């Protein structure tokens, strides 16, 4: 077995590469994978900035990988050589939440049945996390959109989109971009975009046939996707009274003073979606990306071929592409 290199976040702003070995024998019901590409999630970035201090930590879950081998006594729907993406959640399928089709709230969802995450070369992962993708080379990097899109699908299932005439997407990072993509497939009209970054905003408006946000419109729904306490506060301040708001921001360690008070004064109707809901949403997301993502949209990606994970993370706040994708290469 070749050496595994794992890029651990040792402390804030500091990824360090560590050489290690995977076991000669794959544990029962685990799958050995080679990581191909991995996107940077807002949660990963929060840890890089020092908002979450559980160091050292292996990060990277928006990945696509190739199945190298497995040791399973269950029937799998993928095989050696197939490409797979990961469900972010462990689901015991026995607790009250799993039995109520709310397995993303599983009481054991913090269990980590993998050797390491995807800012690395290889890993052994419990089979239950993995879902096959039929997206193939040379476009396999697009599969890094599947897991975050599944979270968006879970959130939008909370609403009856067919009855909404106007939606504002507030923020055009990874999640905001994929919201615009998904809504352009579902609504095909009256999707409005706001971001202080003119380049990101203009590119998404043009590529997904959206509209520029307008100051005097009362939107049926505002999707807040800034991953920033200041962005969330600004979004609430600029929203209408009794406004429906779906917020994707995970404000770990950030100063949230003023957010609650402003929500109360506006009597906002806020939904904070958690993870991706049913595992079925991963397969729905895979279908959307495979069948609706076109080559023009690839301009929204910046792919880093690097052995230094610090570089794309350090550039994230200034990057004009909404999604940064890492291809971890070690000579």
Q: Which CATH number do you get for residue 173?
A: 3.40.50.720
Pair (20, 49) in one structural domain: yes
pLDDT of residue 266: 86
Nearest to 268 by CA among 245, 294, 293, 300: 245
154 part of a folded domain: no
pLDDT of residue 238: 84
Give start and end residues of each alpha helix (H) in 166-319: 174-186, 198-207, 229-237, 259-266, 280-292, 310-315
152 part of a folded domain: no
Pair (248, 282) in one structural domain: no
Give 74-114 pLDDT, tens digit per residue: 999 999 999 999 988 888 889 999 998 888 889 888 788 89
Pair (54, 36) in one structural domain: yes
Question: Crossing angle for the helix pair 146-156 and 174-186, nearest 10 degrees?
Answer: 60
Pair (100, 26) in one structural domain: yes
Pair (10, 119) in one structural domain: yes
Q: How many domains does the chain have?
A: 2
Query: How wide is the angle at C-alpha 116 spanned by C-alphas 112 and 117, nearest 5°?
Result: 90
77 part of a folded domain: yes
Q: Which residues touch 279 (CB under 8 Å, ≥6 apart)?
A: 87, 89, 91, 103, 131
pLDDT of residue 1: 63
In sign, the C-alpha dihedral spanning 10, 15, 19, 23 is positive
Nearest to 107 by CA among 92, 87, 126, 119: 92
Q: Which residues touch 178 (CB under 8 Å, ≥6 apart)?
A: 145, 148, 149, 152
- For the chain, how are helix, strand and coil distributed in percent, rounded to 5? 30, 25, 40
Q: Which of the residues in the chain have pLDDT under 70? A: 1-2
What's the CA gap between 331 and 313, in Å, rounded? 21
pLDDT of residue 243: 87
210 part of a folded domain: yes
Element (H, E) at 148: helix 146-156
pLDDT of residue 185: 93
281 part of a folded domain: yes
Pair (282, 142) in one structural domain: yes
Pair (205, 253) in one structural domain: yes
pLDDT of residue 256: 85
218 part of a folded domain: yes
- Range of 136's domain? 4-147+276-328
153 part of a folded domain: no
């Amino acid at each position: 077995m070749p050496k595994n290199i794992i890029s651990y976040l040792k402390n804030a702003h500091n990824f360090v590469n560590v050489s290690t070995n995977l076991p000669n024998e794959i544990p029962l019901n685990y799958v050995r994978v080679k990581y191909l590409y991995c996107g940077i999630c807002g949660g990963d970035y929060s840890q890089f900035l020092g908002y979450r201090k559980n160091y050292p930590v292996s990060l990277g879950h928006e990945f696509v990988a190739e199945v190298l081998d497995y040791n399973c006594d269950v029937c799998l729907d993928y095989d050696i050589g197939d490409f797979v993406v990961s469900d972010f959640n462990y689901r015991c399928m026995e607790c009250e939440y799993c039995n109520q089709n709310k397995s993303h709230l599983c009481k054991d969802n913090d269990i980590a049945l993998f050797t390491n995450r995807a800012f690395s070369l290889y890993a052994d992962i419990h089979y239950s996390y993995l879902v096959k993708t039929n997206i193939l080379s040379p476009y396999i990097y697009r599969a890094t959109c599947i897991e975050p899109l599944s979270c968006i699908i879970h959130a939008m299932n909370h609403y009856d989109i067919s009855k909404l005439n106007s939606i504002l997407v507030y923020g055009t990072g990874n999640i905001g971009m994929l919201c615009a993509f998904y809504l352009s497939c579902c609504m095909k009209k009256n999707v409005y975009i706001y971001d202080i970054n003119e380049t990101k905003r203009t590119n998404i408006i043009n590529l997904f046939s959206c509209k520029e946000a307008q100051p005097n419109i009362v939107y049926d729904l505002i999707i807040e996707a800034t991953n920033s306490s200041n962005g969330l506060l600004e979004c609430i301040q600029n929203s209408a009274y009794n406004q429906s708001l779906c917020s994707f921001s995970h404000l770990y360690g950030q100063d949230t003073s003023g957010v609650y008070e402003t929500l109360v004064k506006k009597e906002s109707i806020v939904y904070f979606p958690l993870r991706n809901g049913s595992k079925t949403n991963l397969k729905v997301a895979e279908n959307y990306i495979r069948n609706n993502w076109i080559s023009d949209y690839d301009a929204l990606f910046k792919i880093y071929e690097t052995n230094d994970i610090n570089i794309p993370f350090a550039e994230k706040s200034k990057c004009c592409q909404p999604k940064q994708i890492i291809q971890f290469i070690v000579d």
